[in-house]
Chain A
Amino acid sequence: MTADTLQPQRDPALEPEIKDPIILRVEALSLWYGEKKALKEISLKIPEKQITAFIGPSGCGKSTLLRCINRLNDLIDGVRVEGDIVFNGASIFDPRIEINALRKRIGMVFQKSNPFPKSIYENVAYGPRIQGIKRKRDLDEIVEKSLKGAALWDEVKDRLDESALGMSGGQQQRLCIARAIAVEPEVILFDEPCSALDPIATARIEELMQDLKSQYTQVIVTHNMQQASRVSDLTAFLYLGELIEYGPTERIFINPMKKQTEDYITGRFG
């Protein structure tokens, strides 16, 4: 089953032309929480090494969609999925797939920073240790590289052994990014990463996302439309579990094709 068979005629509001190679393809994805249908036949293609933003009012299903990509929704009782997500040509719902290996390849940064109650070093080294890296020298190298990648190295290099819980909120969130890139994923999912941060910390995260673009495909869920317009290349607007519009960010914000999109981005509801 492909998206083409389901939607014979191509809707320009939903299927923008994408030149870059596609890394993730969501195909007619529906999701139920018990009886409640939270996602309704969503199909979209996410290009490699770009930033894709999911926007929409609260409860529209954007976080649910994001959590489907690394199958974190599996943890919730009573979730049922139909449709498919194809990652690098393979379905992530294939029973033969190792779910832990999938999650290693698709990293995630959460809304509320969630450093482990361990030292800064141990937080970053956690993923590599899980992957079986034991040598101190290798771990040191990965920790330094990841902290540098998350633009945190200069701030914490002298206190790697201190508890991560003593850091500021913005630093904690960048530590979570460092922790995510330490396992060298291909995709990083951001679930409203700046919603608990002040504007300066937010700016640093956004800057960091631009720096990471050269290496990683990034998907961000955000409430903040300015943020979506600032950081993303593509934007998907979801409303009540349905994909309303998907396209290049600039076009969505300047020239939305659907009335609901326009109403939302101009602040008439949301």
Chain B
Amino acid sequence: MSAEATARPHTTPWRRLAADRIARWVVSAGGLAIIVSILGILVFILVEVAPLLTAARVTVDRKIPLAGAAPGALLSDEHRTHVAALGAEGRVRVIRLSDGQTVATRDLLAEPAELVDLQVPPESSALAASTRDGRVVIAPVTFQITFDAQNRVVSPEISEPVVLEVDPLGRPLQSFAAQIDEEGSATTAAALADGTITVVRRSVTHNEMTGETGEETVRTSAPVSYRVTHLALDADQKNLYGGTAGGEILWWHLEEGQIGPVQAASAGTAPITALALLIGGRSLVVGQGNGTLSVWMPVSKAEDADAASGDERLTRIRDFPPQSGAIRLISPSPRRKGFLALSDRELGLYHSTSHRTLWTGPSPLPGARALGTSPKDDGAFLAGHGTLASLALRNPHPETTWRTLFGKVWYEGYDHADHVWQSTGGSDDFEPKLSLTPLLFGTLKGTLYSLILAIPLGVFGAMYVSQFMHPGYKRYVKPLVEIMASLPSVVLGFLAGLWLAPRIEHAVPSLLLALFVLPVLVLLTGAAWNRLPRTFRGRFPAGTEAFLFVVVLALGIWLCFSLRQPFEHLAFAGDFRSWLLHAVGLSYDQRNALVVGLAMGFAVIPIIFAIAEDAFTNVPQNLVAGSLALGADRWQTVTRVVLPTASPGIFSAVMVGFGRAVGETMIVLMATGNTPIMDWNPFNGFRTLSANIAVEIPEAPHGDTLYRTLFLAALLLFVLTFLVNTVAELVRQRLRERYSQL
């Protein structure tokens, strides 16, 4: 024997070593890649969600010395390059922020006049003021943007001011509010020294045919018993709000130039010192002499939301932490339901919907007399004591808090606080309602209704197949169920939404009938079969009796469907849907939880069945034999030994089915109607987290609060399925340990 031959058995061939090592690397790399990609998805979602939590910041960009009288009203362009400031001497100055130069000026009135009350009308690009002799001046300011080669050129333009004579006797106005629309129609409301509220409306009509422009001025007055110190007029020029020195808030409707009856509400004894409408004109922010800040809305008294506006009452919705001194100025955001509030020494940034105090700090310009927010809500301006301060607001997601995501919020136009998902509306001043609770509810509702169907069918089906079915047929069942699992859910959703839903709509009475008829029929057949003589039964090959039940079930279903009309007539007064609405008070949607339960149940059954069947089959045969040897029959053995032993596996099956139902998208997207309502009614639709993401992500602007909230929904879904699957896996591990002892 050569030396080489003897050495060979002690060394492993290098080929095998290399193959071994490569295989180990490939397997490890594959496993790691999966872990890394899942973590990567999680990190990506977290990165998208995290900005929702960033705190707002207010910083001073620059301070510019101002010439002339202290301005009382400020307007800026979209890019925060220029500010138009209106001073008490009646001159508008446009100041370039980059170098503090005044680039344009215009005197609003031909004669020198002293302005007493200066303001920016809400949701407008105009400056307004009242004069000492009882007039109101409104001057629209526009910033034209042109591009000169690569450079943006902003050219401010101050239009011809509208002057309205309010007090014919030329007395100073106690307070006023003004509005102007794009055509130049202007309205002003003022509290006059004679104790009336006077509304002057100048409408401009433009005749397309003749090219003529007509003007019409209407003046109405109504006496008022309160001393009105502040007024606010909404953008529609329909609602007028007032604040008094006694702490009352007043509300008038302006209809066709008429002043409606006044409605008063008390905000406490402290005088109202500032009044502003948030965009949309439904929320009124009230600042008082003691620093109190509150938000008020007209709320319908009646249950019916469509009630006439006459039934609405001005209601105090929420309070913000008070500032240390009297609130001097409130500047609503031109984009969102937020506002800035300024007292003598403090500045605060707030958001109404989320009830958040986003930022508070010392006023950068103590004693400032003018406050303005930039059109994009990314900056603010303060003026006073010969200085203009430009502030930068970093406030990307003021709408989101735990409360808005999961709690009840009192939204504009609602008569109570509620969970609502409504991400977009018809107009820009829409208040986004981003509560995830209805979506979580929808997810759980869909899951529940599908599991109600899938758990019994999956588990008992698995029990029957593994424990009772003739082994000859068993091997056909599993592949069939696997085919069921391989159906794409989009096909199921499509069938459920377009084919099943309209049929179910007519067949609900039959389904209800079947709920009672089929079990009874099956039990009767079983009992009858057992009564038949053994010799007769012996003629059928073992296991074929199962097919008898197929025939019986088919017969039962046919019976239920053919009995629909008499049954509907008898039980539901001829029409199930109207009976449901009138007798039970439930409405019926065509795409509802029942349809989803059937379709998603169909998708979940194979999963539950497969895992449960394994769990049943994995129960050691010697346990079954042990039980039978003690004189137990099959049923006793299955219920007392097999079922308890397989229960962790069945639990695991249910959990995996649950996880599947929670994450399912296409079926719920197509068969639920996607109405985000919270109602357990099986005949209503719902909207799930997953379907919501699918529906809304194409419309969500990148980086927007809605976009990030959708990612938060994804994170929630991720966490939910992760938890469910982890619990299922832990239970399966325990199950394995338990079996290893058997």
Contact = CB atoms under 8 A, between A and B. Distances in A.
Interface of A: 70, 72, 75, 77, 95, 100-101, 103-104, 107-108, 110, 112, 114, 116-118, 126-127, 129-131, 165, 176, 179-180, 183
A126 B630 contact: yes
A100 B742 contact: no
B631 A116 contact: no
Contact of A72 (B620, B625, B742): B625
Interface string B603-624: 0000000000000000010111
16 contacts: A72-B629, A75-B624, A100-B633, A110-B629, A114-B623, A114-B742, A116-B645, A117-B645, A117-B742, A118-B644, A127-B630, A130-B636, A165-B742, A179-B626, A180-B629, A183-B630
A114 B620 contact: yes
Given A116-B623, A116-B641, A101 B742 contact: no
Contacts of A126: 627, 630, 632, 640
A104 B631 contact: yes
A103 B623 contact: no
Contact of A130 (B632, B644, B738): B632
Contact of B630 (A103, A117, A118): A103
Nearest to B470: A77
Given A75-B625, A108-B626, A117-B623, 17 more contacts: A72-B625, A75-B628, A107-B629, A110-B625, A112-B622, A116-B626, A116-B641, A117-B645, A117-B738, A118-B644, A126-B632, A130-B631, A130-B632, A130-B636, A130-B640, A165-B738, A165-B742
Interface in B637-669: 640-641, 644-645
B622 A114 contact: yes
A180 B630 contact: yes
B547 to A, nearest CB: 19
Nearest to A74: B628
A77 B631 contact: no
A112 B644 CA distance: 20
A168 to B, nearest CB: 12
B322 to A, nearest CB: 64
A142 to B, nearest CB: 13
A129 B631 CA distance: 11
B534 interface: yes
B741 interface: yes
B628 A95 contact: no
Given A95-B534, A114-B622, A70 B742 contact: no
Given A130-B636, A165-B741, A114 B625 contact: yes
Contacts of B627: 116, 126
B488 interface: no
A75 B621 CA distance: 10
Contacts of B620: 114
Contacts of B636: 130
A70 B629 contact: yes
A220 to B, nearest CB: 15
Contacts of A95: 534
A107 B627 CA distance: 10
A175 to B, nearest CB: 11
A180 B626 CA distance: 9
Contacts of A77: 471-472
A89 B627 CA distance: 26
Contacts of B472: 77
B628 A107 contact: no
Nearest to B535: A95
A179 B630 contact: yes
B630 A107 contact: yes
Given A114-B742, A116-B641, A116-B645, A104 B622 contact: no
Given A77-B471, A116-B641, A117-B738, A183 B631 contact: yes
A112 B625 CA distance: 11
Contacts of A72: 625, 628-629
B476 to A, nearest CB: 15
B643 to A, nearest CB: 12
B739 to A, nearest CB: 9
Contacts of A100: 628, 631-633
Contacts of B738: 117, 165
A127 B631 contact: yes
A229 to B, nearest CB: 27
B629 A103 contact: yes
Of A95, A100, A114, A179, which is in contact with the most chain B CB atoms at under 10 Å from its CB? A114
Given A116-B641, A117-B644, A118-B644, A131 B625 contact: no
Nearest to A112: B622
Given A117-B644, A117-B742, A165-B741, A110 B622 contact: yes
Interface in B248-281: none
Contacts of A108: 625-626, 629
Contacts of A180: 629-630
Contacts of A118: 644
Given A114-B742, A118-B644, A165-B741, A103 B631 contact: yes
A117 B629 CA distance: 17
Contacts of A116: 623, 626-627, 641, 645
Nearest to B471: A77
Nearest to B645: A117
Contacts of B631: 100-101, 103-104, 127, 130-131, 183
A5 B630 CA distance: 35
Nearest to B631: A104
A71 to B, nearest CB: 9
A104 B626 contact: no
A87 to B, nearest CB: 14
Nearest to B647: A117
A112 B624 CA distance: 13
A112 B620 CA distance: 11
A183 B633 CA distance: 14
Contacts of B645: 116-117
Contacts of A131: 631
Contacts of B471: 77
Contacts of A183: 630-631
Contacts of B629: 70, 72, 103, 107-108, 110, 180
Contacts of A165: 738, 741-742
Interface in B711-742: 738, 741-742
A183 B472 CA distance: 34
B626 A110 contact: yes
Contacts of A114: 620, 622-623, 625-626, 742
Contacts of B640: 126, 129-130
A101 B628 CA distance: 10
A112 B626 CA distance: 10
Tell me which of A103, A104, A117, A180 has the highest count of chain B C-beta atoms within 10 A of its own C-beta.
Answer: A117
A107 B632 CA distance: 11
Contacts of A75: 624-625, 628
A137 B55 CA distance: 69
A107 B629 CA distance: 6
B541 to A, nearest CB: 13
A103 to B, nearest CB: 5
Interface string B494-526: 000000000000000000000000000000000
A131 B636 CA distance: 11
Nearest to A78: B471
A112 B629 CA distance: 14
Nearest to A105: B631
A184 to B, nearest CB: 11
A112 B472 CA distance: 28
Contacts of B633: 100
Contacts of A127: 630-632
Contacts of B624: 75
Nearest to B620: A114
A124 to B, nearest CB: 10
Task: Please provide the 7 A-B residue pairs with the shortest distance between their CB atoms, ordered closest to farther.
Answer: A104-B631, A108-B629, A127-B630, A114-B622, A114-B626, A165-B741, A130-B632
Contacts of A129: 640
A121 to B, nearest CB: 14
